[in-house]
Amino acid sequence: MTGCRFAAVRIFLFVSCYFFLSTNSYAGPSVEDDAGNTVTLTQPARRIISLAPHVTELLFAAGAGQHIVGAVSYSDYPDAAKKLPRVGAYNVFDLEAIVALKPDLVVAWKSANPAAALKKLQALSIPVFLSEPRLLEDVASSLERFGKLAATEDIANAASAVFRQQLAGLRATYSTKKPVSVFYQVWHQPLMTINGEHIITQVIELCGGRNIFANLPTLAPKISPEAVLQKDPEVIVAGNSALNHPGWKDDWKRWPGLRAVKNGHLFYVNPDIIQRHTPRILQGAEVLCKQIETVRRNSLDIMY
């Protein structure tokens, strides 16, 4: 009798151990998103929906592009992203189309996607990762976390390491340079800029620049031309505004006394490489840093 009980105990322990190991062996990836929420999957993501162009680009860079089954409009980099099924725009997307694609992960843009629509997706038990990179280091971190969610860590971690190395190189080159006051123009009508919490301010500061509207409370505030005149920046940089309004420089030339106008420091940076939270933002940083360096050199020429 004692032998039977002993055998029963052994079987119980074996079965318990088996289920414990099985559960842990097949436990899915778990990461923290940019809103501080823990996103846990039952298995690596294989049907991903991207609700922002920068998210699509990040997923491809992290090696997860092959697992994207739907994306919003303007998801155009790399070329393969242009062929993805569309589920609307970042600010108005099609919930029915998203659900029909049976995603096991939706990656959303926290500050731009409609919060009510995202809650509906979460109510359907669809895992939602909220993306909102505010620091340049967040780009590298996003790559690593997307790699973990899609089980493409080797590619993602390699891309992250390259990004961190390039970022460190730019910091070493420009961090001790003389500060230059910068106005970054996001849009022209209404006139819009970015505050100190925006990742573009990080790029400006990386280059030794100073965002003249860093202290404003709104991420992308509307301002008046008079506010810019009062701050009198040394350089004006346009992104989307210049792309959609070729006459943007003429708008500022109405004020020839403005330092940026007087010294010819009106510059453009392709918004795709400075306004998207992706590895290509360092390409935009290199362009901006060279433009700001031109301002420094010209300032020395004026002094002497």
Q: Give the contacts of 126 (CB within 8 A, at least 6 positions apart).
A: 99, 103, 104, 105, 106
* 174: nearest Cα among 133, 196, 154, 202: 202
Q: How many CB atoms lie within 10 A of CB 265?
A: 22
Residue type, 268: Y
**Which of 138, 162, 186 corresponds to the end of one domain?**
162
> What CATH number corresponds to the domain at position 132?
3.40.50.1980
Phi, psi of 106 (to 5 degrees): -115, 130
User: Residue written as tokens 């050199």?
Assistant: 297
Residues of the chain above pLDDT 90, percent: 85
Residue 21: which pLDDT band, with cuts at 50, 70 and 90?
A: very low
Answer whether residue 7 shows pLDDT above 80: no
Does residue 68 lie in a domain region? yes
Beta carbons within 10 angstroms of residue 11's beta carbon: 10
Domain for residue 15, yes or no?
no
Distance CA 286, CA 166 (A): 10
Do residues 153 and 122 both lie within one domain? yes
Residue with tokens 């909102």: 132
Tokens of 127: 């895992």
Among 162, 193, 218, the domain-final residue is: 162
H or E element, residue 23: helix 2-25
The closest of 146, 147, 128 to 38, measured between CA atoms, is 128
Same domain? For 208 and 153 the reply is no
197 and 154 within one domain: no
Residue 7 lies in a domain: no
State the residue range of the domain holding 293.
Answer: 175-303
* DSSP at 140: H
Residues 143 and 213 reside in one and the same domain? no
Better-predicted residue by pLDDT, 2 or 49: 49
Q: Could you tell me if residue 124 is inside a domain?
A: yes
Does residue 277 sit in the same domain as residue 211?
yes
- Answer with the one of 137, 162, 187 that is the final residue of a domain: 162
Cα gap 1→92, rounded to integer Å: 70
Which DSSP category does 76 fall into?
-
* 204 and 241 assigned to the same domain: yes
Count of domains observed in the chain = 2
Tell me, yes or no, whether 206 and 158 share the same domain: no
Report the alpha-carbon distance of residue 183 to residue 250 in Å, rounded: 16
Confidence band, pLDDT 50/70/90 cuts, at residue 175: confident
Determine which of 117-126, 202-211, 222-231, 241-250 has the lowest per-residue pLDDT on average: 241-250
Position 20 in a domain? no
Give the model's pLDDT for residue 244. 75
- For residues 158 and 221, membership in a common domain is answered with no
Q: 220 and 274 share a domain?
A: yes
Domain presence at residue 3? no
Query: Cα–Cα distance between 177 and 236 in angstroms, integer?
Result: 18
* Neighbouring C-beta atoms of residue 270, cutoff 10 Å: 15
Domain annotation covers residue 19? no
* 190 and 156 share one domain: no
**pTM for this entry:** 0.87
